[in-house]
């Protein structure tokens, strides 16, 4: 069975996310461990961390994923922003360790006009600094981007270069592929054959063993549009055939998948989970 889940709120305490995930029918879930729009984070109370871990076991939810806040930019050329971003990443890895969370997803940021090589060098330096000062068991997952102006990580070669820059800490790094971002960046996953071709590229460039998590989202924009606009499952440009291909793929179906879809009058979170689960059922010939 495919493990499907949602991004859920930690309002009122991080431990409350677990019951919210169960109420929505999640097999896995993703959180921001604190306010994603602030640099400062309060320490996680030990009682809350214990409840977070215990409730996952009691409610039968096998996996929790954390996501980095919005403000950090690991590719920034601004020394002040860069230093705060490195510190934020280190603290978030420590918070994951407290919560027993195996994966932390991070965006790779923007080089802000300084160029790809500068961006890769800054990200590489940030990872080296963080790994040297933290001892977390949590694996940091580099998320692909849609390829908007100056953004890092929209190509497999970008991600491969960053991974290659960390030879001594390779076991602490993995990849999260976002389906909306893939499509927007120009990687075709709309059919079984095009998905296979894209995964072949990924395997050749990065290696499928690095892929640990899928962000499952449809895309409002055309392929290669670089438009990072998430859409309800099967209602965007990737479409039903694409999601059936992803959800029934022999490798991808074994990975946890987190939906980051809109909530509006057309469909809520439960509705998107239902559609995704229906797509995961193989159609007999």
Q: Are 110 and 72 in contact (CB under 8 A)?
A: no
Give the position of tokens 């229906």: 278
Alpha carbon of 269 to those of 142, 217, 235, 239, 252: distances in Å? 25, 12, 14, 18, 21
pLDDT above 90: percentage of residues in the chain: 95
Catalytic residue among 228, 231, 249, 269: 228
40 belongs to the catalytic site = no
d(CA 77, CA 252): 35
Catalytic residue among 23, 57, 70, 117: 70
170 belongs to the catalytic site = no
pLDDT, tens digit (0-9, with 9 covering 90-100), for 198-211: 999 999 999 999 99
User: At residue 240, does pLDDT exceed 90?
Assistant: yes
Catalytic residue among 3, 7, 22, 67: 67
pLDDT, tens digit (0-9, with 9 covering 90-100), for 33-79: 999 999 989 999 999 999 999 999 999 998 999 999 999 999 999 99
Catalytic residue among 95, 210, 215, 249: 215
70 belongs to the catalytic site = yes
Q: Are 212 and 252 in contact (CB under 8 A)?
A: no
Residue 32: pLDDT band (50, 70, 90) is very high
Catalytic residue among 22, 107, 210, 244: 107
Catalytic residue among 122, 181, 210, 249: 181
pLDDT at 283: 57
* Residues 4-279, CATH architecture: Alpha-Beta Barrel (3.20)
230 belongs to the catalytic site = yes
Query: What are the extents of the domains in the chain?
Result: 4-279
196 belongs to the catalytic site = no
Whole-number mean pLDDT of the chain? Answer: 96
260 belongs to the catalytic site = yes
Catalytic residue among 114, 203, 240, 260: 260
């Amino acid at each position: 069975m495919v493990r499907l889940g949602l991004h859920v709120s930690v309002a009122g305490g991080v431990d409350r996310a677990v019951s919210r995930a169960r109420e929505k029918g999640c097999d896995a879930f993703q959180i921001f461990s604190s306010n994603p729009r602030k640099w400062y984070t309060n320490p996680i109370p030990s009682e809350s961390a214990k409840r977070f871990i215990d409730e996952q076991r009691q409610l039968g939810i096998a996996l929790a994923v954390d996501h980095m806040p919005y403000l950090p930019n690991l590719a920034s050329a601004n020394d002040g922003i860069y230093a705060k971003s490195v510190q934020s990443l280190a603290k978030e890895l420590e918070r994951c360790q407290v919560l027993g969370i195996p994966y932390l997803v991070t965006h790779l940021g923007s080089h802000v006009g300084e160029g790809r090589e500068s961006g890769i060098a800054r990200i590489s330096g940030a990872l080296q600094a963080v790994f040297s000062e933290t001892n977390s068991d949590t694996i940091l997952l580099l998320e692909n981007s849609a390829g908007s102006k100056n953004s890092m990580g929209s190509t497999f070669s970008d991600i491969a270069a960053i991974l290659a820059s960390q030879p001594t800490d390779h076991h602490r790094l993995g990849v999260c592929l976002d389906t909306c971002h893939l499509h927007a960046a120009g990687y075709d996953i709309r059919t079984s054959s095009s998905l296979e071709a894209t995964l072949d590229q990924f395997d050749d460039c990065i290696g499928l063993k690095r892929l640990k998590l899928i962000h499952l989202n449809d895309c409002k924009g055309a392929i290669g549009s670089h438009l990072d606009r998430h859409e309800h499952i099967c209602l965007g440009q990737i479409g039903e055939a694409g999601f059936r291909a992803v959800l029934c793929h022999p490798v991808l179906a074994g990975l946890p998948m987190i939906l980051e879809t809109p909530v509006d009058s057309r469909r809520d979170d439960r509705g998107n989970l239902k559609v995704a689960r229906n797509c995961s059922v193989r159609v007999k010939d």
